[in-house]
């Protein structure tokens, strides 16, 4: 944990850099690591989720309204992911992501997607399994919706299986300065920004991002 101040007296807001293999819940399941091992303060719960095989930024809070706003589909908000995929998506593949795809649960909204250089990330534990004969690429993708395993399904739909998936940003919040498995309370300034995010969500201010 990185403790930037004493636990707040009111509502609690926490940024957590979730490692691979950790569940977005406090109850153990199927041999995966639960959140209970990270010594969070009592009464916090996840505002949003990441699958056990995904990594990166997760909000925990005692604020029920924030949880509702971040978890309810009608209150879409930007979430950015770094996806390592098999093979190298070309312009047509990226445009298909940007425009929106038809998945089994309906069409996806337009999003941002671009090839990026390999990000500065620690090696995953356990390591990613590569095929020596198949190149890989990193894509940054920003969605305003959050269906179950959506990023993985979108890339599978266009023929580029995801090998590693890291959520790097929620709104303007990032996991910068947090090693995997570390968490910290929001600063007072960050809480003000979070209040702005909540107001934007209430107004339905987040539209589909431009390509």
Q: Which residues are catalytic?
A: 51
Q: Which two tokens stand for residue 150?
A: 């959506």
CA distance 164 to 6: 35
What residues pair up with 57 in beta bridges, in sequence order?
17
Q: Which residues touch 140 (CB under 8 Å, ≥6 apart)?
A: 80, 81, 82, 83, 112, 113, 114, 116, 168
Distance of CA 23 to the CA centre of its chain: 13
Q: Where are the beta strands (DSSP E) in 130-196?
A: 136-143, 162-170, 173-174, 183-185
Q: How far apart are CA 72 and CA 61, in angstroms?
A: 16
């Amino acid at each position: 944990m990185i403790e930037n101040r004493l636990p707040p007296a009111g509502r609690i807001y926490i940024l957590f850099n979730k490692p691979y293999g950790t569940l977005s819940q406090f109850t153990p399941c199927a041999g995966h690591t639960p959140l209970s091992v990270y010594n969070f303060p009592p009464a916090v719960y996840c505002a949003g989720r990441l699958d056990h095989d995904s990594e990166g930024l997760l909000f925990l809070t005692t604020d029920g309204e924030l949880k509702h706003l971040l978890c309810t589909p009608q209150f879409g908000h930007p979430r950015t992911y770094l996806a390592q995929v098999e093979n190298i998506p070309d312009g047509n593949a990226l445009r298909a992501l940007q425009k929106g795809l038809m998945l089994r649960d309906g069409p996806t909204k337009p999003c941002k997607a671009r090839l990026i250089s390999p990000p500065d990330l620690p090696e995953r534990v356990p390591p990613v399994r590569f095929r020596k004969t198949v190149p890989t690429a990193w894509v940054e993708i920003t969605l305003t919706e959050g269906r179950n395993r959506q990023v993985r399904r979108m890339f599978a739909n266009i023929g580029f299986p995801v090998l590693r998936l890291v959520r790097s940003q929620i709104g303007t919040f990032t996991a910068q300065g947090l090693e995997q498995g570390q968490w910290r309370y929001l600063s007072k300034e960050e809480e003000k920004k979070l209040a702005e995010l909540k107001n934007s969500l209430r107004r339905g201010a987040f539209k589909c991002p431009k390509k």
